Amino acid sequence: MVASVVGPHLGTSAGHRATRHRLAYDAGVSIDGRVRRAIGWLAAAATLAGCAARETPALDPDSVPEAFARSTAALMWPGATRAYQVTPAGDLYNGEWRVVVRAAANGVEADSPRVVAFRERWRPGARWTRRSGDVRWDFDALALPESAPRDSGLLVSLVAHATNTGSSPAEATLELALAPPEADPIFVAFDAPERPAPARWGRGGSGDTVNAWSDVTAEGERLAVRWPLAPGGSRELRVLLPAYPTAAGVLARAARRPHRAWVEESDRFWDRELATGARFELGDPELQDALRAARVLLLSCRERRGTRWVPIGGPFQYRDVWLRDGARAAAALAIAGHTTIARELAGGLAEFQWPNGAFISQRGQLDGNGQALWAFEQTLLRPVADDSVARFADAASRSWAWVEWQRGFGRLSGWPFGVMMPYGDPRDGELVRAQLVGNDAWALAGYRAAERLLRAAGRASQADSVAAARAIYAADFASLLGRTGSRDVPPSWQNVGRDWGNLAVGWPCAALPPDHPRLHRLADRVWAEAGGAGLVTYGHRDSVHDYVGADLAVWGWLAGRRAEADSVLAATLHWRNGSGAGCELFSRSARDFGRNLPPHPTTAAAIIAMVRHALIYDDDDTLRLTIGARDAWWRGAALRQAPTRWGTLDLELRQEGDAAHWTWSPVPVWTELTLPAGRAWVAPLPAPLLPGRRPDRVLAPPGTRDARVALR
């Protein structure tokens, strides 16, 4: 709202005003002048805003870990149809216009931000610092939704704060220029006009539609201030940036609330939102913040379509809906305890059902069929079946019938892989036209989901039919792998293409049992190609994929490959930026994501899935606890209010000396307890515990709520 004056240079001479062409010389504004101007809007707000950046919780952005060579962040809001990118250069861009930030001191241009960070690496307000000589520029920006009735826009409050850290006076200049997208933009807002009118600044409370607002006088698209800064002195400017051109009066009203109040409102909102979900108390602040960042991202990457909500593939270049990503987002939110929102997203995904019963969002991406059903099951059956389950069971039944219809044709064809899903050309993922193994794996996941949904809907007979069909399909699947010429699980039945859907065969699709040798060989191969367990490569050795190999972590825990599985989690956590987000693809050598901007929601979903399943795994007929619990968690950790297929569950775990101790909400199924890594139980096991299928696992009968196991 204001270019406020703080520090020892208050009231400095206005002498520069006349000499600086086209710069609004704000530094020389006297106290009287400042107060007069503030009265125009709100005097108290001016004072508050003057302290805005400094009074909000402190953060040195450059102290926040940043995995990538260039740092960027997204300013977004749930339901908003545009977002602002804070670019690696320190500009802002919303898909229609840029806010080019030129900061300088004594003629020296400020460098690019090293890290664009969120507070605590998850609270969605971006901070970044730039330097020009002795002048440090601190920027603070965050988004809030527009006032009702507008529900698809957002407003960004941006504060630029200059501090002279040197021992001699400096002259700081700041220019915020509104500009069209670059010549070769990474993204353009879908609803940006083909020929946008020149963007312009607004001031005051008029009804003029403007692209940015400040109470500093600006000339058209350009706002500039010049500040003489005494040693130790500082100045700041606050502006508002709407996602869409907005009446200046609306922005003026929004600006009456100081930036700090915006920060507090944002914090309150997100604290409240996250409190509705499960509570991860792991004794690992970095990991807990990573989970918060992941949840904030997933909650933010949603758009409305009428009364429905849909998950979008990202705030920038992937602002579209993919079943393959949306299903992951919905499922992750479900297991993180955001049940209502997850179910809303499932309702949005249901819109992708075709008249023939199939679910497809993109041409040639037949995996969407199983993914949609999987998302329904994941979201609707935890912690108890939703009232709407009958509708989804019906949809799943139609989808199942469509797949069986095709398998019937394929069976009659006599072709080698005729009973598998037909060829597809996804133009993504496997990047090949072929019969993709992942399509069948996901179809099998869809069958399992359909069976569960039908049972939950009270249609046991039909559920039995689906289960029987699944058994035949799974047998075909396992058998035909032997005819692919591959030793593991290839991307396609024709053994061509890139690894993609085949990486989901073990988990979540459960198309093969976890111990199947082909799954071990698949993991060995893709991890070897990447130089070791962790993230997998895509296309070539230097191109690392942030989420496609994450399913191997959960599979690895189920298959007893704990160290490798944990390395996947560790690598995914490492490759995040200052706002706590991962991307999709990046060059390992250059640490650069190129034009594939973070954040990517599916990476966020992967983090949630890995951590949650490491503690509580409930995807089959047994509750499995601590399959991937890290050593640090055994010092005492808990996951509370976790929705599971057997109700809401609290879990506590702790290792005390040579004993592991679990307490959990009793469930009506057997519970498998996995011991801390490298440990085995000491006989005799206390009743009612029984030996598990591996030396590091024990079984507890239904209804057990507490177990203590001696370790060796």
Q: How far is the CB of 519 from other proteins (least distance, A)?
A: 25
* Class of residue 507 by CB neighbours under 10 A (exposed 0-12, middle 13-18, buried 19+): buried
Which residues are CB-neighbours of 387 under 8 A, at least 6 positions away? Answer: none
Residue 582 and residue 603 in contact, taking contact as beta carbons nearer than 8 Å: yes
Tell me the residue ranges of DSSP E strands in 288-361. Answer: 302-305, 308-311
**Edge to edge, what strands does the sheet with 647-656 contain?**
279-281, 637-644, 647-656, 659-664, 706-710
Handedness of CA 463, 469, 472, 474 (dihedral sign): negative
d(CA 683, CA 663): 21
Q: Is the Cβ of residue 326 or residue 337 nearer to other proteins in the bound state?
A: 326
Nearer to other proteins, 147 or 413 (CB): 413
Q: How far apart are CA 74 and CA 85, in angstroms?
A: 5
Composition of the chain by helix, strand, coil, percent to 5: 35, 25, 45
Q: Which is nearer to other proteins, 152 or 388 (CB)?
A: 152
Cβ closer to other proteins: 13 or 495? 495
Distances (CA, A) of 439 to 80, 199, 408, 446: 32, 47, 17, 10
426 vs 434: CA distance, rounded Å: 9
Q: Smaller CB distance to other proteins: residue 71 or 365?
A: 365
Select 184 or 387, whichever has its Cβ closest to other proteins. 184
Whether a cis peptide bond, with omega within 30° of 0, leads into 416 is no
Least Å distance, CB 81 to other proteins, is 9
Is the Cβ of residue 1 or residue 454 nearer to other proteins in the bound state? 454
Query: Partners of 108 in the beta sheet?
Result: 105
**Interface contacts to other proteins, rule CB under 8 A:** 180-181, 183-185, 187-188, 190-192, 194, 196, 305, 310, 312, 319-322, 348, 351-352, 354-358, 360-366, 398, 401, 404-406, 408-413, 415, 422-426, 433-435, 462, 465, 494
- The minimum distance between CB 491 and other proteins, in angstroms, equals 13
Cα–Cα distance between 438 and 491 in angstroms, integer? 7
Residue 212 or 360 having the CB closest to other proteins? 360
Provide the 10 A C-beta neighbour count for residue 22: 8
Rounded least distance, CB 201 to other proteins, Å: 22
Could you tell me the smallest distance in angstroms from the CB atom of residue 20 to other proteins? 34
CB of 276 to other proteins, least distance (A): 26
Closer residue to other proteins, CB minimum distance, 124 or 357: 357
41 versus 187: smaller Cβ distance to other proteins = 187
Q: How far is the CB of 367 from other proteins (least distance, A)?
A: 11
Q: Alpha-carbon distance 368 to 598, whole Å?
A: 23
Instruction: Output the CA torsion sign for 247, 251, 253, 254.
Output: positive
Phi then psi for 95, rounded to 5 degrees?
A: 95, -10
Task: Count Cβ atoms below 10 Å from residue 106 Cβ, excluding itself.
Answer: 17
**Which of 404, 529 has the CB closer to other proteins?**
404
Rounded CA-CA distance 503/499 in Å is: 7
CA distance 345 to 303: 10
Strands 623-625 and 671-674: parallel
Task: Report the candidate in 426, 600, 441 with the shortest Cα–Cα distance to residue 510.
Answer: 441
User: Least distance to other proteins from the beta carbon of 487, Å?
Assistant: 22
Query: Least distance to other proteins from the beta carbon of 340, Å?
Result: 21
Peptide bond into 311 cis (omega under 30): no
Q: Is the CB of 409 or the CB of 632 nearer to other proteins?
A: 409
**Shortest spacing between CB 411 and other proteins, in angstroms:** 8
Q: Nearest-CA neighbor of 450 among 517, 559, 524, 372?
A: 372
- Minimum Å gap between C-beta 195 and other proteins is 8
Q: Which is nearer to other proteins, 39 or 405 (CB)?
A: 405
Cβ nearer to other proteins, comparing 422 with 560: 422
Local structure of 335: helix, strand or coil: helix
For residue 689, the minimal CB distance to other proteins (Å) is 44
**What is the closest distance, in whole angstroms, from the C-beta atom of residue 379 to other proteins in the complex?**
18
Three-state secondary structure call for residue 693: coil
Residue 497: alpha-carbon gap to chain centroid: 27
Residue pair 519/526 in contact (Cβ under 8 Å)? The answer is no
CB 561 → other proteins: shortest distance, Å?
33
